[in-house]
Structure formats: C-alpha cells, structure tokens
Amino acid sequence: MLTDSYGRTIDYIRISVTDRCNYRCFYCMPEGGVKLIHRKELLSYEEIAEVIKQFAAKGVSKLRLTGGEPLIRSDIEKLIKMLSSIRGIKKIAMTTNGSLLENKAAKLKANGLNSVTVSLDTLNNEKFEKLTRMGIVSDVVCGIDEAIRIGLDLKLNTVLLRGINENELDELISFAFKRDITIRFIELMPADYDIGFYKKRFMPISYVSEFVKKRYDAKPSNYRSAGPASYVEINGHLIGFISAVSVGFCDNCNRIRLASNGKIYPCLGHMEEYSVDFKKALGKGESIDDLIKKLLEIKPKSHNLLNLSIKSSMSMIGG
C-alpha cells in the first residue's frame, strides 16, 4: 500500500484525459477558454496505462476519468478497456458534463466503466445556457436517463452557486430521487482566472445541509464512497455534502491527480510547487518508483484554499 508522510493510504487516482471541453462553465475556465496543451504533450493512452499499472502494483485500486470533458477524447472506451485489464484495479468511474453521454453510455459500460458522475448545477435551461455558455440541459438529462437505463451506477454533482441555484434545491433533489440516484452538493472552489466569480457566488455547504435537515426527514448515513462526501439518508435515498473549502477533508485524503500533461498533483490546493512530471520520466524510459516515493513525501498535510486560489484551469487538472 502507498502511504504518505502523514499516514494516509493513497488508493485512488483521478485521471484528466484531456484539457478540452465543449462547455465553458464559469467556475471551470474563462469565457475565451484557456491555453490548450498541444496534442503531442497529452499523455497517450499507453502512457496513462503504464503509469496506472505501476501504481496499481503498489495498491491503487480506484480510478476516475475526468477532463476537461473526458467524452470528447477520441475512443475513450479504448482507454477504459486498457485500464480495466490492469491487475488490482477494482473500480473505474468517470465524471462528465453528460452532454455526450446518451450515445456513449452503453459502449463505456461494455468496456469496463463501473460508474459515472454527471455535473448538473441547474435544471433551468436559460440558467444552464448562461452558466455553461453553450450547453442545453435536455442533452444532459437524456444522457442521465440513458446511463440509468443501461445499468451504470450514477450520481449527480451540483456545485452550490449563490444567486443561481440556491432556490432550486428542492427541484434538483426531486429530480434525483425520482430516478433513484444520489445527488451531492459541492462547495465552489476559488480559481485565479475569476476570483470575483468565486467571491460573489460562494455558498458554504452548511447552507444546503441545514436546508435538507429542515425540509426533509434526513438521517445520518454510514455510507461512504471513494471520495470525501458525507451523506444523509431520506427514505432510502442519499444526499451527499462535499465541503471542499469551509470545512475540508484533508485528514482522510486518499487521492492524487494525474493531469492531462503528465504531471501528478498530490493536492488540488497546492499546484506547481508540489507537482511531479511523470510524462518526462516515461519519455526517458526512467523508472517511476523514485517519483512515486517523492510524490508521497511532498503530499501536503492540507490544502490552503482559504488563503490561496487554484492557479491552473480546472479543465487541465480535472477538479
């Protein structure tokens, strides 16, 4: 097993397969987009599989594919099949905006995808278009329903946004419960490219947790996923809360992030100063054992998002 300097076991890797996205969500990137990584600099599927193979041999068992938008990368199901064949990998999940999921869900599942998390911050199409700067909410709903139909395990992620969706909590919860899926509410995280948006729209997770306690007969749940969410149960349904900023969950952090450029980040709240370049090592044919050891040594005790903002595009590091 991989253990960092603070005794935390690392068994979960988030893999950003591309920095490209077909949306331009306010909290993820500027309206004009970001400077994209040259395609030659992106990790190939073979390079990703090689990195994961070496981590799996040391105890990593859970993977999550992210982006950008992972479904815009060509033949993404090929990577899923490669990863699912690696000894020690027990679960492969994906986070997606859901816009392309309807036509791809069946093939993803057939190649080894176990679960999918869809980002859905509003069901109001006018708000959705403004927030994503180009999306159509019905595309996402169709993707969700198709994933459910074919039997993919599915969750919803909703970023709390003051002045945008705090009056939709009932509607979003009802949408999830009618489909018998879990919805998780997440705090907005600060990013350098639009710190003004963060300051204007941030809502603490306590807002929605108090709303749920007052509105529903909610009971604490012992359910735990691979991620940091805490859950309550309402008539057999789950609602999750992820307090990335106001409370934090660093004591139990079990993850690292493989970015689309081949760098691995041990903490979302500490970027370049704590990154390790695995692509460079692979290109030189070097062993990555020493890099893994270094990664565990430099993983910080906690993030510093109350004082620092994320300095890279969320679309590059995968959130």
Q: What residue numbers bound the domain in which 309 lies?
A: 2-317
User: Of 38-42, 159-163, 210-214, 260-264, which range is least confident?
Assistant: 38-42
pLDDT mean across residues, the chain: 90
Round to whole Å and give the CA distance between 213 and 207: 10
Residues near 88 by Cβ (< 8 Å), separated by ≥ 6? 56, 57, 59, 60, 61
pLDDT at 265 over 80: yes
Residue ranges with strand state E in the chain: 2-3, 9-10, 12-16, 62-66, 91-96, 115-119, 153-159, 182-186, 219-220, 230-234, 237-242, 255-258, 263-265, 276-277
pLDDT at 219 over 80: yes
Round to whole Å and give the CA distance between 208 and 51: 38
Residue 126's domain is classified under what CATH number?
3.20.20.70
User: Of 74-78, 94-98, 307-311, which range is least confident?
Assistant: 307-311
Its pTM stands at 0.92
Q: What per-residue confidence (pLDDT) applies to 169?
A: 97
Q: What per-residue confidence (pLDDT) applies to 137?
A: 98
* Confidence bin at 282 (pLDDT 50/70/90): confident
Q: What per-residue confidence (pLDDT) applies to 52?
A: 97
Q: Are 248 and 302 in contact (CB under 8 A)?
A: yes
Q: What per-residue confidence (pLDDT) applies to 119?
A: 97
CA pseudo-torsion sign 270, 276, 277, 282: negative
pLDDT at 290 over 70: yes
Q: What per-residue confidence (pLDDT) applies to 316?
A: 59
Q: When comparing pLDDT for 250 and 30, which is higher?
A: 250
Q: What per-residue confidence (pLDDT) applies to 196?
A: 78
* Confidence bin at 154 (pLDDT 50/70/90): very high
Q: Sort strands 263-265 and 62-66 into parallel, antiparallel or unpaired.
A: unpaired
What six digits make up the tokens of 212? 């749920």
Q: What per-residue confidence (pLDDT) applies to 2?
A: 95
Round to whole Å and give the CA distance between 283 and 268: 25
What six digits make up the tokens of 86? 């690696």
CA pseudo-torsion sign 70, 74, 76, 77: positive
Domain count, the chain: 1
* Confidence bin at 25 (pLDDT 50/70/90): confident
3-state per-residue secondary structure call for 142-189: HHHHHHHHHCCEEEEEEECCCCCCHHHHHHHHHHHHHCCCEEEEECCC
Residue 68: asked if its preceding bond is cis (omega within 30°), the reply is: yes
Give bridge partners of residue 299 from the DSSP assignment. none
